[in-house]
């Protein structure tokens, strides 16, 4: 389980001070990017060294409660399934230890021509540690 902490800024909210619905997807994207970095990689290095580009194929979201301006959020990410060219993640956003957003994300690895590509072995090894 990986954790990424963030805060709700003015730019994340609508005129009522509530997080705009699409911004939850930005929060979990940032958590995924941070996860790759915690595993010892960067998206740029994966692209340059392996022609590896992760794209969202499918996402299922459940909005439980709204986050508001200046809320402290914690995004917890867990690998549910790893295949040759894809992996499925569970990502949950918490505010004060209470889940406010749940998602299941299917990420597919493609090359620069848009074709499915096996996930690099060093990354698989780092995930499985």
Q: pLDDT tens for residues 64-116?
A: 999 999 999 999 999 999 999 999 999 999 999 999 999 999 999 999 999 99
Per-residue buried b or exposed e for 73-84, using 16+ beta carbons within 10 Å of the residue's own CB? bebebeeeeeee
Asked if residue 129 has pLDDT above 90, the reply is no
Q: From the CB of residue 89, how many other CB atoms can be counted at a distance below 10 Å?
A: 21
**Average pLDDT for the chain:** 97
Q: Among 12, 14, 71, 97, which one carries the catalytic annotation? A: 14
What is the pTM for the complete model shown? 0.93
CATH number of residue 27's parent domain: 3.10.129.10
Write down the H helix ranges in 11-120. Answer: 23-38, 43-50
- State residue 118's pLDDT score: 97
State the residue range of the domain holding 24. 2-128
User: What is the total count of domains within the chain?
Assistant: 1
| CB atoms near residue 105 (< 10 Å) | 21
List phi, psi (to 5°) of 31. -65, -40
What is the DSSP track for 5-22?
EEE--GGGB-TTSBBPTT
Q: What is the pLDDT of residues 7-65, one digit of tens each?
A: 999 999 999 999 999 999 999 999 999 999 999 999 999 999 999 999 999 999 999 99
51 catalytic? Reply is no
Note the pLDDT of residue 78: 98
Q: To the nearest whole percent, how much of the chain has pLDDT over 90?
A: 98
């Amino acid at each position: 389980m990986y954790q990424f902490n963030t805060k709700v800024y003015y730019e994340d909210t609508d005129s009522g001070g509530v997080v705009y619905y699409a911004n939850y997807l930005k929060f979990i994207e940032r958590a995924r990017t941070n996860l790759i970095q915690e595993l010892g990689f960067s998206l740029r290095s994966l692209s340059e060294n392996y022609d590896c580009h992760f794209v969202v194929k499918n996402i299922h979201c459940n909005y439980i409660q709204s986050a508001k301006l200046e809320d402290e959020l914690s995004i917890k990410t867990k690998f549910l399934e790893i295949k040759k060219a894809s992996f499925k993640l569970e990502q949950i956003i918490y505010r004060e230890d209470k889940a406010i957003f749940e998602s299941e994300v299917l990420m597919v690895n493609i090359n620069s021509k848009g074709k499915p590509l096996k996930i690099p072995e060093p990354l698989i090894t780092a995930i499985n540690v």
